[in-house]
Amino acid sequence: MTSTFEALALSPTLLSVVADLGYARPTPIQCAAIPPLLAGKDVIGQSRTGSGKTAAFALPILQRIDLEERGLQALVVCPTRELSAQVARDFRALGRRHAGLTVVELVGGQPSRPQRDALERGAHIAVGTPGRLVDHVQSRSLKTESLTTLVLDEADRILDMGFADEVEAILRALPVVRQTVLFSATFPESITAISEAYQCDAVRVRIADPDEAKDEIRQLQVVTDAQDRFHALCWLLHEFPHESALIFCNFKATVAELATTLANADISADRLDGDLDQFHRDQVLARFRNGSIRLLIATDVAGRGIDIEGLDLVINYELPQQSEIYVHRIGRTGRAGKSGTAISLTIVGQDKRIRAIEELTGVEIEIVERHAGNEVGLGVLLRSLAQGAKMETILISGGRKDKVRPGDILGALTGDAGGLRGKDVGKIEIQERLSYVAVERTVARAAVERLNRGRIKGKRFRATLVRGTATARGSNAGDRSSSRRW
Ligand code: AMP
């Protein structure tokens, strides 16, 4: 689709601004999102940073803004302070010919007073982070009566950082008749749920990415034998690049053995089986979801009902006995608009089971050749896989009961001099009495120290790095006595 800004029916003022900024033509997301947004429709858009998404929602907002009206007309919710600053900057740049336009930033980590004063004096557009926005909405310093447009920018990241309650509180406080715009890189069920609850006849805008197969699961098998299974696993982990992978085994003894072997080779791996108590189970899942574990080895029983999806790789270390279990296992990949790969290690003589699965799914499970002739040795493979995860998880001894909110943790980590950058902080999960926060591995120790030295909500909490359960060295193997096999 080639288009021009003129063809998008932008005002002469905005056309001259985009020309000033050197934008030759609209990006695909701008072509697709600007017309429905100018028409006042709700939009749910897929976007990545760098796609030009900010201008895609900022231009229509600027075109529809009434500069005479001093009440707040547009509110943009961002996951981090950095993004808020950038979005506010973009609004000011694109609004440079809107004389008298006022854009305020309402983010945490800074005194609220000047923000309240700015709102009091009158602002057309506000951009901010969820926690602080809720404070302003609840104290009525942010009045929502004249608001016509709400944007959730990087909505998936907002939810990932644990701000679901704040988003709900903001959405509930807004006038019923308004335009609701949702931009997100991925579409997990939580985003679809927000769209269904708070948008009306939303126009879905998705830019086809040629590299992306939509919602597809590639199903493959690697034929091996019992002695060679582990080597085959390492080969395929090496061969199929992945951020994280879920590996299913039929029995918990296999899970424990595999997880320990991988972890002892300094590969980021942990286990999830019926022997883990609830606390460790939650902990492992939180770490897997937030990128602190690359490989999670699980049994079906432990894997049932767990809340992870959109994985890029699922491996059947062993084929399950029943085809339905196979379907359930591989369903964890390829969701949320992403493609995924499911690979099964099979052994000669399992043809009947594979046929049954193929019949049930209607898809052929393709055989991947392993070139057994010039095989890479196990040691070499293990060394190539030996890398830590991108993130580490910090456990904080305070949760919902202590009124700890994601913004408080984010604030404690990033605020003041010497703090972490917003982009070093990952998912934040607040539970009843404790919280998990993911931070970049390189800054993890500094982050723990900072949390232990400082306060959250004026209180002191204990922060510790969460260690894996799978290594022989640091194993919590006390529960091996259980008689269950999975
Ligand atoms: P964003 O995806 O909003 O983070 O935008 C990425 C960058 O692209 C920003 O620096 C924008 O200034 C720039 N940009 C946005 N729209 C256009 C366009 N139509 N042509 C060229 N650059 C653009």
pLDDT, tens digit (0-9, with 9 covering 90-100), for 81-96: 888 999 999 999 999 9
Give domain status of residue 44, yes or no: yes
Contact 320, 171 (CB under 8 A): no
Question: Ligand 1: which atom is nearest the Cα of residue 54?
Answer: 3
- The band of 471, judged by pLDDT with boundaries at 50, 70 and 90, is low
Reported as half-sphere exposure (CB side, CA atoms, 13 A), residue 416 has a value of 6
Measure 360 CA to ligand 1 centroid, in angstroms: 46
Is 177 in the same domain as 219? no
CA torsion sign for 75, 81, 82, 88 is positive
Going by CA atoms, what residue is nearest to atom 6 of ligand 1?
50
Nearest CA to ligand 1 atom 19: 26
Residue type for 54, please?
A: T
Atom of ligand 1 nearest to the CA of 86: 4
311 phi/psi in degrees, rounded to 5: -75, 150
User: Per-residue pLDDT tens for 113-166?
Assistant: 999 999 999 999 999 999 999 999 999 999 999 999 999 999 988 998 889 999
Which of 4, 18, 21, 90 to mutate to test ligand 1, by most ligand atoms within 8 A of the CB atom? 21
| Whole-number percent of the chain with pLDDT over 90 | 64
Question: Is residue 357 domain-resident?
Answer: yes
Kindly state whether residues 224 and 286 are assigned to the same domain. Answer: yes
For residues 256 and 175, state if they share a domain.
no
> Which residue CA neighbors atom 22 of ligand 1 most closely?
23
Residue nearest to atom 8 of ligand 1 (CA): 52
The greatest distance separating any two alpha carbons of the chain, rounded to the nearest whole angstrom, comes to: 77
Q: Which atom of ligand 1 is nearest to the CA of 90?
A: 12
* CA 157 to ligand 1 centroid distance, Å: 20
For residues 258-286, give the mean pLDDT.
90
Task: Please say if the pLDDT value at position 318 is more than 50.
Answer: yes
Same domain, 345 and 250: yes
The residue type found at 419 is G
Tokens matching residue 122: 């009158």
Long-range contacts of 7-16 (CB under 8 A, 24+ apart): 8/34, 8/35, 8/38, 9/35, 9/38, 10/34, 10/59, 10/63, 11/63, 13/97, 13/98, 14/59, 14/62, 14/63, 14/94, 14/97, 16/97
Residue 416: which CATH number? 3.30.70.330
CATH of the domain at 245: 3.40.50.300
Mutating to test ligand 1, I would choose from 27, 30, 90 the residue with most ligand atoms within 8 A of its C-beta, which is: 27
Q: Which of 4, 29, 30, 54 has the most ligand 1 atoms within 8 A of CB, as the residue to mutate?
A: 54
Q: Is the pLDDT of residue 224 over 90?
A: yes
Same domain, 179 and 117: yes
Q: What is the pLDDT of residue 373?
A: 61
- Residue 211: what pLDDT? 45
Ligand 1 atom closest to residue 5's alpha carbon, by position in its atom list: 19
75: enclosing H helix or E strand: strand 74-77
DSSP 356-392: HHHHHHT---EEPP--GGGPPPHHHHHHHH----SEE
d(CA 32, ligand 1 centre) in Å: 15
Asked if 201 contacts 42 with a C-beta cutoff of 8 angstroms, the reply is: yes
Instruction: Take atom 15 of ligand 1 and give the residue whose Cα is closest.
Output: 52
Query: Of residues 270 and 387, which shows the higher confidence score?
Result: 270
Say which residues have a Cβ less than 8 Å from residue 419's Cβ, sequence separation at least 6.
413, 450
The Cα 41–Cα 37 span in angstroms is 5
Tell which atom from ligand 1 comes closest to the C-alpha of 21.
12
pLDDT at 308 over 50: yes
Asked whether residue 238 falls in the same domain as residue 364, the answer is yes
Which of ligand 1's atoms lies nearest the C-alpha of 49? 2
Please, how many CA atoms are within 13 Å of residue 256, restricted to the half-sphere of its CB?
16
For ligand 1, the distance from its centroid to the CA atom of residue 150, given in whole angstroms, is 21
> 361, 385, 409 — which closes off a domain?
385
| Residue 366 CB burial class (10 angstroms; 0-12, 13-18, ≥19) | exposed
Residues 20 and 36 both lie in one domain: yes
Number of domains present in the structure of the chain: 3
CB–CB of 98/67 below 8 Å?
yes
Q: What is the CA radius of gyration of the chain?
A: 25
φ, ψ dihedrals at 358, nearest 5° = -60, -40
**Residue 473 has what pLDDT?**
45
Final residue of a domain: which of 176, 206, 236?
206
Residue 434 and residue 302 share a domain: no
For residue 21, the model assigns a pLDDT of 92
Q: Which domain holds residue 437?
A: 391-465
Query: Of all protein residues, whose CA lies closest to atom 13 belonging to ligand 1?
Result: 52
Identify whether residues 172 and 23 lie together within a single domain. Answer: yes
Nearest to 170, CA basis, from 203, 202, 126, 205? 126
With both helix axes pointing from N to C terminus, report the angle between 81-94 and 53-64 in degrees, rounded to the nearest 10: 50
Report pLDDT for 480.
Answer: 39
Q: Which residue has the CA at smallest separation from atom 18 of ligand 1?
A: 23
Cα(30) to centroid(ligand 1), Å: 10
Q: Are residues 199 and 151 in the same domain?
A: yes
CB atoms within 10 A of CB 5: 21
Q: Quick one: pLDDT at residue 125? A: 98
Same domain for 292 and 352:
yes
Q: What is the torsional sign of CA 241, 245, 250, 254?
A: positive
Judge if 343 and 404 occupy the same domain.
no
Measuring from each residue's beta carbon to the nearest atom of ligand 1, which residues come in under 6 Å? 23, 26-27, 30, 49-55
The tokens for 84 are: 């808020």
For residue 483, name the pLDDT band (cuts at 50, 70, 90). very low
Instruction: Give the helix ranges, DSSP H, for 367-455.
Output: 378-385, 406-414, 444-453
Query: Could you tell me if residue 456 is inside a domain?
Result: yes
Question: Per the domain annotation, does 472 fall within a domain?
Answer: no
Instruction: Please report whether residue 95 resides in a domain.
Output: yes
Residue 484 in any domain: the answer is no
pLDDT of residue 387: 82
Q: Per the domain annotation, does 309 fall within a domain?
A: yes
Q: Pick from 352, 385, 418: which residue ends a domain?
A: 385
Nearest-CA neighbor of 438 among 462, 461, 406, 469?
406
Q: Give domain status of residue 202, yes or no.
A: yes
What is the number of H-type helices and E-type strands within the chain? 18, 18
Segment 358-405, tens digit of pLDDT: 888 878 899 998 876 667 889 999 999 998 888 999 999 999 889 999
DSSP 8-state class, residue 468: P
Q: What is the pLDDT of residue 485?
A: 52
Distance from Cα 52 to the centre of ligand 1, integer Å: 4
